[in-house]
Amino acid sequence: MSKKWLILLIAALAGIAAGWFVFSSIQAGVNDLKKGHDTAKQAVLNQGSLTSVTKVTTFNGPNTGSDGKPVSYYAVHGKDSKEKDAVALIHSNKLSEKPVMAVLSEGISMKEAEKIAKKENSPKKMFRTKMGILQRDGKQIPVWEVKYIDSYDRYTYDYIDFKTGKMLHIAIK
């Protein structure tokens, strides 16, 4: 076997090893996300905050903890005890605490939040809208997070108060 083939073989093996490492890392992250969603779902059901669950999303908004690190929440969507569509917003590290509840009929809809963002900021391209929570003056306020590309080609996040429809915060990345 010539030196050229040996180098190609070593390079191919290194490429396979690197690919395996990347795949394994991604898979581990996906598994952690699913495990977190499953745990949040069970916590909300066990507490009786919701009687059924249709989906769970993760909210990584602008909130930070007392240590200055970002705080994540799970938004657990489903039906409450009165069979109304609701979202239980629960801190990802405090699953035993009572979640903040948002009954969807008692606030603005996701589509209304998107209309507010479009009216105020004229986005070039909308990506997604999801329920989250903002911490303001010691209160936890349910919000719609609207993600889009603004007129300057920046990723922008609008946080719109679920109850009032008021724009509370804009984050640009």
Q: pLDDT of 144-165, one tens digit each?
A: 999 999 888 888 999 999 999 9
Structural domains in the chain, CATH included, are 1-102 (no CATH), 107-173 (3.10.450.40)
What's the whole-number mean pLDDT along residues 127-153? 91
* Residue 159 near residue 170 (C-beta atoms within 8 A): yes
Average pLDDT over residues 137-144: 91
Residue 65 has pLDDT above 90, yes or no: no
The CA–CA distances, whole Å, from 168 to 68, 78, 88, 90 equal: 21, 25, 20, 20
Collapse the DSSP code of 28 into the 3-class scheme (helix H, G, I; strand E, B; otherwise coil) and give the result.
helix
Distances (CA, A) of 46 to 26, 59, 63, 78, 139: 30, 21, 26, 14, 25
Q: pTM here?
A: 0.77
The Cα 46–Cα 63 span in angstroms is: 26
Question: Is residue 95 over pLDDT 90?
Answer: no
